[in-house]
Amino acid sequence: MNPKSEKIPFSIHRMIRQNLSKRNLTVSWLAMKINIRPISLHQQLNRSTLQVNRLWSICQALELNIFQEIANRLERENQSQKAVEKGMELSQIDAEVDGLKKRIELLENENKTLKEVISLLKG
């Protein structure tokens, strides 16, 4: 598959700009933090690609883990693909996960209660 034909399902550039906006920071401020000219950073944020070393610098300056966001989205995409292959809907998987989380919580509470009973019986 041609690497240029593969599309990233979200915009890293948009994510960076939204993060700046949310914090009331400017691209010029970020450029200063990563030691490049503001016009250079504007140009890089308007391209369809971004070098990993530049993304790393941006993550450090913003104290933002974009790599984790990429990993999370890849994981969700992989889970969706596996669900489709198995003929399951993502909502079914989410419902099953929610049910398992509730079951874990109930078991943890039961375990805590049993420990308290045991300590009372010992004392």
User: Distance between CA 13 and CA 11 in Å, rounded?
Assistant: 5
Angstrom distances, CA of residue 6 to CA of 1, 58, 73, 105, 115: 8, 24, 15, 41, 54
User: Distance between CA 10 and CA 64 in Å, rounded?
Assistant: 16
> What pLDDT does 6 receive?
55
> What pLDDT does 12 receive?
87
> What pLDDT does 82 receive?
79
For the chain, 123 residues long, give each residue's pLDDT as a single digit of tens.
444 545 666 788 888 999 999 999 999 999 999 999 999 999 999 888 889 999 999 999 999 999 998 898 888 888 877 777 776 666 777 888 999 999 999 999 999 999 999 999 987
User: Distance between CA 10 and CA 73 in Å, rounded?
Assistant: 9
